[in-house]
DNA sequence: CCAAAAGTGTTTTCGCTACACCCATGA
DNA sequence: TCATGGGTGTAGCGAAAACACTTTTGG
């Protein structure tokens, strides 16, 4: 019989870096994606909400299915390590011999609102920058890569900026977010013009102070117009 | 325990219409998507290949996961009908009471190469035009709709023309395919120019004869350039 | 006062749109 | 011969790319 699990790639944006919320496993000293199993009367979406809620303290987050991972070898890819590290530890050793089919979800959250919370098997729950190359459980590194690819493709169809940024943000912050997801630089002036032409941002009177240079204006999303614009997709290729 | 099933939306293009390969069930007289269960040592992709092979006689087809359907109610949506129609018939009645999680795949095939083959539960295997409104099992109608939406979104990222058309095809045929997927008309001349500008087609010396009017040129995809172009996505919004 | 970041504007180029004319074919 | 579909070309417009100058800020 197949086990259905869920793995969540929770993205946050902080300090001009895209980060993923990961659990640091007590026994294997590796990082793992927050995950869990589907309960009998849940939809996958409800299960993913539950998993994300338990790690972030937040409810009703933006979540999207992006791929199912079903390679029978996937639960074995790290088996040697697991066997060694988990000997005599709490989880049942044979548990990891079973086959897992995992549905990948990605989630977009406001970094500052999250309270990272470890689970029973982990000693820490950390935001890990995508630049950091940490050791990860099973095929979780690959799952993150797939999530980013999806994010890139859906940049114009999903409310990515809205969900990842705080309510008030600056244009350079929004641009860096786009650049991070796309993996390439964008022209500052063209970016700003294009964004403003979408007519989905409200320019606020305030500026962001405290930076070392000229203080940028703050913007916020105009929810109504943003929602409407997304229905057709924000035209244009970045 | 959850059952994992697979449903395949097999698209073909014929007579200037987009069609789906469906099974006509013996007992319920409804149409059903070709589907099946995941075997223990298969990936989902391998299982989908197997399912599609059994219905079409073709191997190594283009297949793509597009969504997982996990609503606990989905196997019940047609339950009344099932209970009535299947009373006393072969499949175990309680079988359909269980919960099904189904992974949706779509496949793109060359219509002319397919040999539609029914399975044990069906008396026919038919190509059904998307315009026809036939009665369908469970939520299969909705699954087809989701497949088309995905197709539309991925029109510029997936080799949709290549897989759905025969090796040699005319520009009007390619255009009709695009129009069908997008659900709207396109300008004949602009379509041709844009397509040719992608530089992925080879114009052949031959023309297609037999039509009632001026004989159109035949084209074929230049595999090498097409493959390369798809990596970035064919830019532009149709 | 100066380096670095941010605000703003202009020119040019390219692609998309909208349209018109001619040609070939089988009925 | 003619209706229909298919091949091909062009003018105009708008969005995107490329690019420069000025302003603000903390150090």
pLDDT, tens digit (0-9, with 9 covering 90-100), for A89-128: 444 444 455 677 999 999 999 999 999 999 999 999 999 9
- Specify the higher pLDDT residue, A221 or B86: A221
Rounded Cα–Cα distance for residues B39 and A102 (Å): 16
Mean pLDDT, range A135-156, rounded to an integer: 94
Question: Which residue has 């099932």 as its token pair?
Answer: B82
Distance A111 CA to C2 C1' (A): 35
Q: Domain B167-232, what fold? A: Arc Repressor Mutant, subunit A (1.10.10)
Rounded Cα–Cα distance for residues A176 and A18 (Å): 9
Please tell me whether any atom of strand C lies within 7 Å of the Cβ of A217: yes
Q: Are A58 and A113 in contact (CB under 8 A)?
A: yes
Q: Inform me whether the pLDDT recorded for A85 exceeds 50.
A: no
DSSP state of A167: S
Please tell me whether any atom of strand C lies within 7 Å of the Cβ of B197: yes
Homologous superfamily of A3-153 in CATH? Nucleoside Triphosphate Pyrophosphohydrolase (3.90.79.10)
CATH number for the A164-232 domain, one of 3.30.360.10, 1.10.10.10, 3.40.50.1580, 2.40.50.140? 1.10.10.10
Distance B203 CA to C19 C1' (A): 25
Widest pairwise Cα distance in chain A: 61
Rounded Cα–Cα distance for residues B28 and B105 (Å): 24
Q: What is the pLDDT of residue A87?
A: 41
Q: Do A72 and B2 count as a contact with CB atoms less than 8 A apart? A: no
Mean pLDDT of chain A: 88
Choose among B181, B215, B37: nearest CA to B108.
B181
pLDDT in tens, A40-71: 889 999 999 999 999 999 999 999 999 999 98
Q: Which residues of B touch A (CB under 8 A)?
A: 1-2, 4, 38, 40-45, 65, 67-68, 70-72, 99, 101, 103, 153, 157, 233, 235-237
Q: What is the pLDDT of residue A97?
A: 53
Query: Which pLDDT tens digits describe chain B residue by residue (238 residues)?
Result: 567 899 999 999 999 999 999 999 999 999 999 999 998 889 999 999 999 999 999 999 999 999 999 887 776 654 444 444 444 444 444 444 567 789 999 999 999 999 999 999 999 999 999 989 999 998 999 999 999 999 998 988 888 999 999 999 999 999 999 999 999 999 999 999 999 999 999 999 988 888 789 999 999 999 999 998 888 777 766 7
Domain boundaries, chain A: 3-153, 164-232
Rounded Cα–Cα distance for residues A71 and B61 (Å): 19
């Amino acid at each position: 019989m197949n086990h259905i699990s869920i793995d969540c790639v929770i993205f946050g944006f902080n300090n001009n870096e895209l980060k993923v919320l990961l659990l640091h496993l007590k026994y294997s000293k590796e990082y793992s994606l927050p995950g869990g199993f589907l309960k009998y009367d849940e939809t996958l979406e409800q299960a993913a909400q539950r998993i994300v809620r338990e790690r972030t303290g937040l409810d009703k987050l933006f979540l999207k299915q992006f791929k199912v991972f079903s390679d029978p070898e996937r639960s074995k890819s790290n088996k040697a390590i697991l066997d060694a590290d988990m000997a005599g530890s709490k989880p049942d050793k044979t548990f990891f011999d079973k086959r897992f089919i995992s549905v990948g979800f990605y989630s977009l959250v406001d970094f500052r609102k999250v309270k990272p919370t470890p689970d029973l098997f982990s000693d820490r729950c950390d935001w890990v920058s995508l630049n950091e190359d940490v050791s990860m459980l099973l095929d979780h590194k690959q799952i993150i890569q797939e999530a980013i690819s999806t994010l890139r493709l859906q940049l114009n169809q999903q409310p990515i900026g809205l969900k990842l940024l705080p309510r008030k943000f600056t244009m350079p912050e929004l641009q860096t977010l786009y650049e991070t997801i796309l993996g390439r630089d964008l022209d500052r002036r063209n970016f700003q013009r294009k964004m403003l032409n979408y007519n989905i941002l409200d320019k606020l009177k305030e500026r962001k102070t405290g930076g070392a240079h000229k203080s940028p204006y703050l913007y916020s999303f105009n929810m109504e117009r943003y929602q409407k614009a997304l229905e057709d997709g924000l035209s244009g290729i970045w």
